Each structure stands twice: as structure tokens, then as C-alpha cells.
Amino acid sequence: MNDSADKVDNIIEIRDLCYSRGQKEIFKNLDIDIARGKITAIMGPSGTGKTTLLWLITRQLVPDRGRILVDGKDIATMNQAELYRLRQRMGMLFQNGALLTDYSVFENVAFPLREHTKLPNRLIRHVVLTKLHAVGLRGAADMMPGELSGGMARRVALARAMVMDPEILIYDEPFVGLDPISMGVIVRLVRKMNDALNITSIIVSHDVQEVATVADCSYLISDGHVVASGTPDDLQNTTSDLVRQFMHGMADGPVAFHYSAPDYAEQLLGRDTE
């Protein structure tokens, strides 16, 4: 693909991204393209900074080096007004939902509408109930976030992320803690929204199976850079040990399950050194 085609296709381009937290280098020269209107999955073992990457894309964190282009514009050069305009076009689903605990489910979903628009109450009610219906929680509109289960809170948060009809939807671990029924519904919802509304979706997850059913393209990140990319099928049929280990959930492979530690037998049988 040549350069100009790249620009049209990709809504987000990450180039040479470097980011460290304290002494720990989280990303080293990371390059990722996110295609417009497609579902892109970002996968990787836990602790590889997948969530950090989302925070960098939305400029809640600032990279040490490298560029993140959204629609060809470097987000590092944006002022606050431009950044907020960009964020209005994005919706983000947080890992824990991040619902506002003072407000009811209904008000949580209505919150962005009330803040950004001057729509009449009747219309707001209409929009909010439609979105809640889509996630199956119209009946919970009057409940408070504290009364919801983790999975329900995530679904409400999804309704809130969709309420402004964003162009880009970002999901941080959307499938964790959902029961199989809601998982199926959410997976289909993600797919349907993407196809019907031409939304670009970015999913950060390590649920390989679920991601494989929805994603158009996956990136596997390990050790601060992309180790593999392609369609889920490509990744499934890969020859790389690391990718195979991750995709098939094997304990043995290049990624150690155990955090580096002294020899097991020695530590158990040896004398206390303290």
C-alpha cells in the first residue's frame, strides 16, 4: 500500500511511539494503523500496557517520543478545545465502567447529552432509552450504579459511550466478567454497530476467542512492540512460537508464566536468609 492510500484508510496512525513509566520502558518504537470503519483488536499478555496505549491514543497520557495521528493530525499539537472536539467524536468504555456514582443509570447515559447539547428533555429521554434498550438495560434506568453487577455496569457504560454517536469507539477489556449470554449480545452489538453505523472500533482484550469472532484485524503486543498483526485467522495459523503460545493459551513458550524468581527448590528448602 502506498503512502496516500494509507492516509485515506487509517483513522489512527501510531508511529515510533515510545513511552516509559519510571524506569520501565512500556513501548519501544510501536507502530500501529487503525483502519477506518473496521474493528481492530489489540491483544497481548497482561502487563504489556494495552490500557496505557488507549490512554495515549486519547491523550490522557503524553508519549515520550513518536506521533499519534488521528485523521492525519498529530494529537500532541492540539490545544484543549481541539482535543475536546476530537474526544466528542470518540466514545470509550472503561474497564470498570467508570459510571458516575451520584447519578442514576438514566442520568449517567444522559450525562454527555446534557453537557454537550441543548436537546429538550423529551428527546434526551428518547435517545437514552433507545441506547439502554440496545444493551438490554432499559428496565434498569432508575437504578443507581451501586446496585448494578459488574457486567451490568459495563453495559450501561457501553450505552453511555454510544450515546453521542461517536465515530470511534474504544473498548478497554469489554468482555471481562460478562456472563456468556451478555457476552454474546455485546459481541454481536459491537459487530452490528460497526457495520450499521460505520464506527471504527478499537478493542483491547486478551479474550482470544471472542476477539477472533469480531475483529477485522488484530495486533499482538509484547515487550513494548508489535510482534504480530493480521486477521484473527492469520494469527491462529501462525508459525511464531510466541503468537501460538498466546493464541492457544499454553503455559510453555517464550512468555514465562512465572515472574522471575530464584530457584523453586532452593527457596523452599534453603534456610531463611533474612
Partner 1 sequence: MLKNLYYEFKEFLRQFGALQIFFLRLLKNSPRVLFRRFGLVVQQVYNAGALSLVIIMVCGVFVGGVLGLQGYANLARFNAADSVGAFTAFALLKELGPVITALLFAGRAGTALASEIGLMKATDQLAAMEMMAINPIRRVFVPRFLGGAISMPLLAAVFSAVGLFGAHIVAVNLLGVDSGAFWQQMQAGLDPSDVYEGIVKSVVFGIVASLIAVWEGYNAIPTAEGVGRATTRTVVITAICVLILDFMITAVAI
User: C-alpha grid cell for residue 225?
Assistant: 512492540
How many residues of this chain interact with partner 1, rule: CB under 8 A? Answer: 24
Contact of 208 with 43, CB cutoff 8 Å: yes
CB of 212 to partner 1, least distance (A): 27
DSSP-derived letter for residue 172 is: E
Distance in angstroms (rounded) separating the CA atoms of residues 23 and 190: 37
Which of 14, 17, 30, 90 is in the footprint of partner 1 by CB under 8 A?
90
Look at the block and give the residue holding cell 481541539: 82
- For partner 1, which is the closer residue by CB, 43 or 157? 157
Q: In the chain, what is the greatest distance between 2 CA atoms, to the nearest angstrom?
A: 73
177 binds partner 1 (CB under 8 A): no
Using the minimum distance from each CB to partner 1, give the nearer residue, 7 or 85: 85
List the interface residues with partner 1, window 91-110 (CB under 8 A): 91-92, 94-96, 98-101
> By C-beta, is 57 or 235 nearer to partner 1?
57
DSSP 76: G
CB of 149 to partner 1, least distance (A): 16
Query: How far apart are alpha carbons 3 and 91 in whole angstroms?
Result: 28
The secondary structure element, H or E, covering residue 16 is strand 10-21
* Footprint (CB under 8 A) of partner 1, residues 128-157: 157
- Contacts with partner 1, 58-77, as mask; x by CB under 8 A: x-x-----------------
Does residue 111 bind partner 1 (CB under 8 A)? yes
Helices within 44-149 (DSSP H only): 50-57, 80-88, 105-116, 121-134
CB-wise, 94 or 106, nearer to partner 1?
94
For the chain, what's the residue count? Answer: 274
Chain residues in the site for partner 1 (CB under 8 A): 58, 60, 80, 84-85, 87-88, 90-92, 94-96, 98-101, 111-112, 115-116, 157, 160, 164
